[in-house]
Amino acid sequence: MMNADTVNARERIPDSCCFVIFGVTGDLSHRLVIPALYNLEESGLLPEKFCIIGVTRTETQSKTLKTDLMKGLEKHATRPVKQEIADKLFGCLTSIHADPSDPKSVENLKAQLEKARKDKGVTNHLFYLAVPPGAFKPISEMLGAAGLLKEKDGAWRRLVIEKPFGTDLQSAKQLNADLLKLADEHQIYRIDHYLGKETVQNILVLRFANGMFEPIWNRNHIDHVQITVSETIDVGTRGSFYEQTGALRDMVPNHLFQLMALVAMEPPSRFDAHSVRSEKGEALAAIQTQTEAEALKNSVRGQYLAGRIGDRQVGYYRQTKDVSPDSTVETYAALKLTIDNWRWAGVPFYLRTGKALAAKRTEVAIRFKQAPFSMFRTTEVERLSQNYLVIGIEPTEGIMLQFNTKVPGPQVTIDGVEMKFRYKDYFKASPNTGYETLIYDCMIGDNILFQRADGVEAGWAAVQPFLDAWKKAGGKGLAMYQAGTDGPEEAHELLERDGRRWRAIDGE
């Protein structure tokens, strides 16, 4: 059994830097960013010369901020919190007040960065925007106007931006244009936490480090691909956000398309950020653009009704706080997409995501074509198992291969079996948030796991016809599904008309 921490110990230590967190008092910082920094500190992967500057919109004492973050760490930590590690991490934390609406307040940040340079010799700056999307541009412009994004004298400046990156194709293009006026592409890290998951990263290794898979990874052998991200949680207290976003915007152009790109991309010429991101961008750009009529035909949008999920009662979406009583916003989305290139011509990609579903599951399922069965005439076709390669991402991390074999006995009887690999059975790894790899890569300057401007825009271009078609349709075509099920019946019909069916969400 391999120990992941042993492997991590061989990683290089990042350059000294100031880690500046905008939105340090928010939920994202408490749940993910600070616990990830703690785990990196415990693993010895933070630089010796390191400081955290927490930027708040109101005057907050550093001591008060440390106490608040420590409470958050104890609540959200993925490992037992060791006081000496926490003390070391928070010992380098300072709180400062800065607000884009008050241009003069940026002087507080500049003064603190200058103090870090004089006291610790730290000249590299990483600006992490753990803030709502509307704040991305004003904060970046504040940093740019103050000269804090300009790289000089060998010191680097990096800007980390969370999702959602835009709300449609036009807004994504505009945000890219605005940011690229302030910083170069290599300085911008568009973060998608799905790419921090070990199993997602392993898709590249599975495909390109194993000679048995790449030769059959094409239209000659693959019937179709299913990508599922299902959640049991409902919208909860995020009604206002969800009314502006919906399932499609929230999940498809980022999470699901990142999975799709890793499955569909061509082999990169080398394993570096430019090559990998270029191939991912090409795959997304090759998604067939659909007319609005085609988009309506090849999609399903749904909204959950009241129901039970386990022992929990879930209310009707339209009765959620801050949700319109006649809302047509989707909490479930399913799409049929095709990729116009030599490898994937004629192979449909079926994507689905939704809230308040029967089980939490994220997986990529590659369905291979049926083998000729004429030599097994005595075996009913229904007894022949479908050949699937399933990459499980949540909640079970692993890979499953489903194939046919002979049942013991004097007659040739065939049945399907599964061969499973689970990460936890082979690798000993400390629990983490999924952000550790991404934050570490930001600090060492490796942007292979981050989206590039062209990839972001290609993703939005692919979903724009669906957004436009659904907007024009209004409430017409919105399917309802009961909370605790696997989604609307119309989603099953989307595949059934092609002679296919979804894998069960609540299955193993």
Judge whether 332 and 301 are in contact, CB under 8 Å.
yes
Q: How far apart are CA 113 and CA 19, in angstroms?
A: 10
Q: How far apart are CA 39 and CA 281, in angstroms?
A: 32
Phi-psi region of 502 (alpha: psi -120 to 50; beta: other; left: phi over 0): beta
Beta bridge mates, 330: none
- Helix then strand then coil, in percent of the chain rounded to 5, is 40, 25, 35
Annotated binding residues, as ranges?
Answer: 57, 163, 193, 197, 231, 250, 355, 360
Q: How far apart are CA 36 and CA 54, in angstroms?
A: 15
Burial of 2 (0-12, 13-18, 19+ CB in 10 A): exposed
**The residue to which tokens 């013991």 are assigned:** 408
Q: How far apart are CA 327 and CA 301, in angstroms?
A: 13
Q: How far is CA 96 from the centre of its chain?
A: 30
Annotated binding residues for substrate, as ranges?
Answer: 193, 197, 231, 250, 355, 360
Query: Is 255 annotated in the active site?
Result: yes
Helices and strands per DSSP (H, E), number in the chain: 17, 19
- Name the catalytic one among 186, 221, 255, 274: 255
DSSP per-residue letters across 322-363: T--TT----SEEEEEEEB-STTTTT-EEEEEEESS-SS-EEE
Annotated binding residues for NADP(+), as ranges?
Answer: 57, 163
CA–CA–CA angle 149, 155, 158 (5° rounding) = 40
By annotation, the residues acting in catalysis are 255
